[in-house]
């Protein structure tokens, strides 16, 4: 996969967010993990955030989602930093590793990565006035996995590709982020060299 397309440098961040629910515009990310990759797609830093649930901006709390990520509402209100603080920290990480301007784009890698992007972008728009720092173009492991090995779910992909998986740890943001990164590396190795050279 080329790091430079039409003069625009492309950078990638393995990412996972745990949400208050599944409503695109009224759910908030309450925890997330990120593995920042260099131009050769090697890990340069990993970070995890717990983000306080802001009920003044988001009203969709789904108890079924809470059972999955195991973060109850009372805990989510106070377990980390404020949303704006998280976005500021994330922005600083992007600038630190990739710079910022018209000459680069940063993309999320993950299972259902576009959903994570939409939640992230909506949070960004609510709290910041500058353009979102993440590109809407994502590397979706579910789609890539379906095309390359015939499996789409993260668990089935991990098993098929020989990536160690602990089902009890899934839906922890940092654990899933690392799982995304390991699955991505396995899938990337299956992409024909001719496709990488032409991407």
Question: pLDDT digit string (tens) for 42-84?
Answer: 999 999 999 999 999 999 999 999 999 999 999 999 999 999 9
Domain of residue 31: give its range: 4-140
Count up the domains in the chain and report the number. Answer: 1
What distance in Å separates the CA atoms of residue 43 and residue 38, rounded to the nearest whole number? 6
Total-model pTM: 0.92
On whether residue 145 sits in a domain, the answer given is: no
Categorize the per-residue pLDDT at 3 as very low, low, confident or very high, splitting at 50, 70 and 90: low
What distance in Å separates the CA atoms of residue 93 and residue 89, rounded to the nearest whole number? 6
Average pLDDT, the chain: 92
Task: Give the CATH number, domain containing residue 14.
Answer: 3.30.420.10
Chain segment 144-174, per-residue pLDDT in tens? 999 999 998 999 999 999 999 999 999 999 9
Answer whether residue 4 shows pLDDT above 70.
no
Answer whether residue 32 shows pLDDT above 80.
yes
């Amino acid at each position: 996969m080329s790091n430079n397309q039409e003069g625009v440098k492309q950078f990638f961040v393995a990412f996972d967010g745990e949400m208050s629910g599944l409503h695109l515009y009224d759910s908030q990310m309450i925890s997330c993990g990120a593995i920042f990759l260099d131009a050769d797609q090697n890990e340069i830093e990993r970070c995890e955030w717990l983000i306080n649930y802001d009920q003044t901006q988001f009203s969709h709390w789904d108890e079924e989602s809470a059972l999955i990520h195991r973060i109850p509402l009372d805990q989510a209100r106070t377990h980390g930093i404020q949303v704006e603080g998280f976005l500021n920290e994330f922005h600083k990480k992007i600038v630190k590793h990739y710079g910022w301007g018209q000459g680069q784009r940063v993309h999320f890698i993950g299972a259902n990565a576009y959903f994570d992007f939409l939640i992230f972008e909506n949070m960004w728009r609510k709290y910041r006035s500058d353009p979102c720092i993440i590109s809407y173009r994502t590397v979706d492991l579910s789609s890539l996995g379906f095309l390359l090995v015939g499996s789409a779910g993260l668990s089935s992909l991990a098993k098929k590709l020989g990536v160690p998986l602990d089902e009890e740890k899934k839906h922890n943001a940092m654990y899933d982020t690392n799982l995304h990164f390991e699955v991505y590396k396995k899938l990337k190795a299956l992409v024909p060299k001719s496709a990488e050279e032409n991407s």
